[in-house]
């Protein structure tokens, strides 16, 4: 038995205005030096996270993002869950609200980031970005 995927035209027939799902990947910060530079830049706290923003002032217009959670958030399982939620919030918000040529670091908060309703988590990130961009 072979399974075949549905045709793309069938997906569009249901509703012409519904876009097909697209996976969007953000450039991820991996070097410690990038995290340290962001730590010296602007920051904005919200109920569920701390957001740090650094304007790189270079020719690369990519939006880069990093994620971190300290041991105060909990054990490895709790930290990983908090970072997964921060990654999904960043994927949902940064393509529309992130500034070109900026690095963002999202820092999880103990017991809040992993348990906050996702729509409020996204709202917190949008609020932080709005405040950070106003300081620019």
Structural domains in the chain, CATH included, are: 26-135 (3.30.230.10)
pLDDT at 18 over 50: no
3-state class percentages of the chain: helix first, strand second, coil last, to nearest 5: 45, 20, 40
Q: Is 119 helix (H, G, I), strand (E, B) or coil?
A: helix
What is the pLDDT, as a whole number, of residue 16? 52
Distance between CA 115 and CA 110 in Å, rounded?
10
pLDDT digits over 46-98, tens only? 999 999 999 988 888 889 999 999 999 999 999 999 999 999 999 999 999 99
How many CB atoms are closer than 10 A to CB 124?
Answer: 23
Q: How far is CA 5 from CA 9, 48, 54, 68, 101, in A?
A: 12, 39, 43, 37, 38
Taking the model in full, what pTM does it have?
0.79
**Spatial contact of 46 and 124, defined as CB atoms under 8 Å apart:** yes
């Amino acid at each position: 038995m072979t399974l075949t995927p549905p045709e793309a035209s069938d997906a569009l027939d249901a509703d012409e205005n519904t876009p097909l799902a697209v996976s969007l990947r953000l450039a991820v910060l991996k070097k410690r030096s990038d995290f340290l530079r962001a730590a010296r830049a602007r920051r904005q706290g919200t109920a569920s996270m701390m957001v740090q923003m650094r304007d790189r002032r270079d020719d690369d217009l990519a939006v880069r993002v990093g994620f971190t959670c300290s041991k105060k958030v909990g054990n490895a399982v709790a930290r990983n869950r908090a970072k997964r939620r921060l990654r999904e919030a960043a994927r949902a918000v940064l393509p529309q609200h992130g500034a070109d040529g900026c690095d963002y670091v999202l820092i999880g908060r103990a017991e809040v980031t992993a348990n906050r309703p996702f729509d409020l988590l996204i709202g917190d990130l949008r609020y932080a970005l709005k405040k950070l961009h106003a300081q620019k």
